[in-house]
Chains A and B, each alone.
Chain A
Amino acid sequence: MREVAIIGAGITPCKGRWVEKTYWGLSQMAVKAALEDASISIKEVDAVVYGIYNDIFELSAIPEHPLQGIIGMANKPGMRVTCGGATGAYAMLSAYTWVASGLYDIVLCLGVEKATDCFDFDSMTSTPEVIKTIGWSGDTFYERELGWTASDSYAEVVLAYMDEYPDDLTDEVSARITEILCQQAQNNPYAQRHGESVTAEMAMNSRYVVYPFKLLETCVYTEGAGVIIFAEAKKAEAICKNAGCPPIWITGVGASNEHHVAGKDERHKLMHRILSDHLAAQAAYRMAGITEPLKQIQIIELHDAFIKQLQITMAEMGFVSLGRSDDLINEGLMVPGGPILVNPSGGLTYGGHFVGGSNMFSCWSARRELIDKGFERGLVHGTGSTVAQYGCAMIIERRN
C-alpha cells in the first residue's frame, strides 16, 4: 500500500435550502474551492469518487452522471458510492484505496446532497417529505410499513443502551454537549446554524421528535457539497509545497457493517451497542498504531446524527468506557480546553448534514484544525443505515 495524503479540501456553505443552486451547481462550487485550496488544475486529477446517498433526493437513479463532465472529469474514471449516512466516509475510503493501491495518483472525492427540494404538499413544509424519503432506506419487507425512520431506528439503539446503562446519557449532559456544539459552530463560517445561540437549557426543554431525541439535539437537513482531494506521497508533497499548506496523511482506515436484524448475540445486531463504530475504530487504530486514543488523538470530527448517539460512539471508539459516556462532560474531556476537541465544525447537528458529503464536511474541518492549530492527529467518523449498522473511521495526521 502506498502512503496517501489529503492535498486539498473545499465545501459550500451549509444551507437548509439552496433555491439558488441545484446539486450540479453545488458540486461545481465545492470542486472549484478544493482545486483552489490545493492550487492544482482539474487536469491533474486522475479519477473521481462520488458520495451521493439517496437517488430520490436528487430525482435521478444515476445522479452522478451529469457531474462527470461539468466538474471537468470527462473521459476519466468515476464511481458513485452510497452507504446510507456513512456514504461520505465510505466514498473517502474508496478514494483513499484507489490511491493507496497504486491505481491512480490523484483522486477527487465529491460528496453532495440536495435534500430539501423534497416537499410535503400536505403540511406545506419540507421536513416530513425528507423524513419519508429517508424512510425508503429501511427494511422494506418488515419495517417500512411500521413507520421506520432514521430517527426511530437510532432511537432504538440509544434506548437499548439506556436499558443497559440507566445512569448514563443524562439529559443534562446531552444538553451541555449540544450547547458546546452550537458554540463551536460559530467558529465555522460555513455552518448552517451560524449565528444561532442554543443554550443547554433550551436543548433540555426542546420537544421530543422521537423519544428520547429532542429537536435541538437532532441533526439538521442540509443542502451542500464537499470535496477532499487525495494524492500519493511524492505528488502530495510537491503539490502541498507549492500550495504552502502541509499534506495531511491518512494513517489508518477501518469500516464495519453489522447485521440489520436484532438478536441475542453478535451474530445479529446487539441493539445496545454500535459495534460497527467500535470495529471500524479498532481497525483504524491498529493500522495507525494507536493504542490509547484519548492520549494520541486530539481532534475528532464525529458523525453526530443525534447527541446521545455521539456519546455512545465516543464510548465505542474508546474515549470513555461504555456506560460512562457522561464523563465526556463530567470529567471535562470535551469541554472547551479539555483534552479532545470534538466536532469543532459544529458537527452534523449545528454545522450541517448534506448526507452524501457530510463526512467530507467533517474531514474538511478536521484537516483545518490540524493545519490551523497544529494538532498532530485527528479522527473522522461516519455512521449510517438502520440501527447504526454501518461504521467507518479514518485517522489523519500532520507530520512536522
Chain B
Amino acid sequence: MKKVIPPELIPDVDYEILEVGGERFLQTNEAMFTFYKRTKGEQSPFFLALKERKVILGARCPKCQIVRVPLFELYCPECEFETMESIELPDTGVMNSTPPITYFAHSLFQHQVPFGRGRVLLKGADTALPIHVYTTKGILTPRIFKKGTEVKVVFRDERMGMPTDIFAVPLSELSGKQQKKRGLQESELDWTSPEEPSVPKPTPETTKTLKQALTKLSELAGKVATSERAQKDLKGWKRSIQVKTGGGPFGILIDDQKLSIQDGSIEAPDFVMVCKDPGLFEDWMDFRESLTNAIIAEKLWISLNSEFTTVFKLDRLPRSLKRT
C-alpha cells in the first residue's frame, strides 16, 4: 500500500550544532504531523460519482437556476439558503482562463513538474471546476491551454474519489469518437512520446558557436570544482545528458558535486536535450536565458518531463558561481 507520508521524506531523529558569529546554536529534526480519517461529508456524492460512475456532479438552485460545480454547497447563499439540487454535468467545456504551469513545486509534487492546474467551465455551469490539465503531445508549455480552449474531462483508470481522478486534455487532441464518448479513460488516449525534434546539419557558423559554448562550459565545469555553493547544487545527483544542437552533439555529465563536459556523443544517456542554436548555452551562462525558460519558450526540448529536476539544478549553477 502507498503510504500517506512517503517514507523517503521522513528524516531521522537527529540534531546538529551550528556556529554563527562565534556562538553555538542547537538545531533538532522535528515534524508536525497529524493523521486523519477525514470525511468528505456533503461533498461525498461528487467524489463517489467520479470514482464509481465516471460522472461529474454539480448543484443547481431551483430559485435562481445558478449551476455550481463541483457540488460544494448544500444551500444557495444568494437565495436565502434555498436547498440546492444535484445535477449531472457534461464532460466538455472551455478553460475559464489560461492555467498556470508549475515548474518549481514542493516536495510532494516536485517529481510531477511541469504540471498545469486550471479551471474548466463545463457546458451549462456558472462556476469553474478545478482540474489538472495535460497534453498528450509531449511537454506542457504555455502555448497549449488558453482561455476558451475547448477541453474534455478524462477519467483515470484507477480512481480513488480524489480531485486527481480526472484531468482535462484539449478537445483538438482527441478523435471524433473520443470527443463524444462519456467517461473517456486515460488508457484510451494516445500517450505515444512525441518525436524528438530534428536539428539542422552543422554549418561553419554553428560549429564555431558550439566550439565557443563548449569552451565556456568547460570553464564553468572547472569553476564548479572550486565552489562549495555550486557543488551543493549537484550533491547526490548523477546524470548523463546527451545534448544535440545545430552545431553538433555534446554531453553534460553530473556526478555527485562534479560537472564535466564531453564533446560528441555519449553512451546510454539518462535523457536528451535538443536545441537548434548552440548559442543558447552561452546565453545561459551569461544570464541572458535560463534553461527552464528556454524549454517554456520551446527553444529547448527534453526527452523526459521528470528531468526538469535536473534542469533546475543546472539553472542554479551560474548564479551559485556568481555568488561564490
Contacts and interface: CB of A to CB of B under 8 A. Distances in A.
Given A20-B23, A163-B147, A207-B293, A143 B117 contact: yes
A162 B142 CA distance: 13
A77 to B, nearest CB: 28
A261 B43 CA distance: 15
B278 interface: no
Contacts of A163: 97-98, 146-147
B107 A262 contact: no
A123 B110 CA distance: 10
A262 B289 contact: no
Interface in B224-252: 235-236
Interface stretch (B125-133, B151-159, B179-187, B268-276): B125-133
A169 interface: no
A208 B40 CA distance: 35
B107 A123 contact: yes
Contact of A205 (B30, B112, B293): B293
A132 B98 contact: no
Given A122-B8, A207-B292, A262-B128, A145 B100 contact: no
A284 to B, nearest CB: 26
A264 B127 CA distance: 6
Given A146-B163, A147-B115, A159 B107 contact: no
A145 to B, nearest CB: 5
Given A264-B121, A271-B96, A132 B78 contact: no
A139 B118 CA distance: 14
A209 interface: yes
Given A139-B130, A142-B72, A268-B127, A210 B96 contact: no
Interface stretch (A34-42, A87-95, A149-157, A230-238): A149-157
A156 to B, nearest CB: 5
A272 interface: yes
A135 interface: yes
Contacts of A131: 104-106
B37 interface: no
Interface in A247-288: 261-265, 267-268, 271-272
Nearest to A131: B106
Interface in A195-250: 201-202, 205-212, 214
A366 to B, nearest CB: 31
B164 A145 contact: yes
Contact of B119 (A20, A209, A211, A262): A262
A208 B100 contact: no
Nearest to B19: A19
B96 to A, nearest CB: 6
Interface in A83-113: none
Given A59-B32, A146-B132, A210-B102, A19 B117 contact: no
A149 B106 contact: yes
Contact of A264 (B70, B104, B126, B162): B126
A288 to B, nearest CB: 31
Nearest to A57: B32
B126 A271 contact: no
Nearest to A161: B97
Given A135-B106, A160-B97, A19 B18 contact: yes
Main secondary structure of the interface of B (DSSP, over half): loop
B4 interface: no
A305 B115 CA distance: 22
B100 A159 contact: yes
Interface string A1-41: 00000000000000000011000000000000000000000
Given A163-B98, A205-B289, A205-B293, A146 B130 contact: yes
Nearest to B132: A146
B1 interface: no
B101 interface: yes
A290 interface: no
A128 B97 contact: no
Contacts of B296: 208, 211
Contact of A19 (B25, B97, B315): B25
Among B18, B32, B118, B142, residue most surrounded by chain A Cβ atoms (within 10 Å): B32
A162 B32 CA distance: 39
Contact of A156 (B97, B108, B162, B236): B97
Given A160-B97, A205-B293, A264-B121, A141 B72 contact: yes
A129 B29 CA distance: 13
Contacts of A124: 235-236
Contacts of B105: 128, 131, 147, 149
B98 A145 contact: no
B120 to A, nearest CB: 10
B30 A59 contact: yes
8 closest A-B pairs by beta carbon, nearest first, are A207-B290, A160-B97, A155-B100, A132-B106, A131-B106, A163-B147, A207-B292, A263-B127
21 contacts: A120-B107, A129-B106, A129-B107, A142-B72, A142-B163, A146-B117, A146-B132, A146-B163, A147-B108, A151-B100, A159-B99, A159-B100, A160-B147, A201-B287, A205-B289, A208-B290, A208-B293, A210-B104, A261-B127, A262-B97, A264-B127
Interface of B: 8-11, 18, 20-21, 23, 25, 27, 29-30, 32, 40, 43, 66, 68, 70, 72, 78, 96-110, 112, 115, 117-119, 121, 126-128, 130-132, 142, 146-147, 162-164, 235-236, 287-293, 296, 312, 315
Interface of A: 19-20, 55-56, 59, 120-124, 128-129, 131-132, 135, 139, 141-143, 145-149, 151-152, 155-156, 159-160, 162-163, 201-202, 205-212, 214, 261-265, 267-268, 271-272
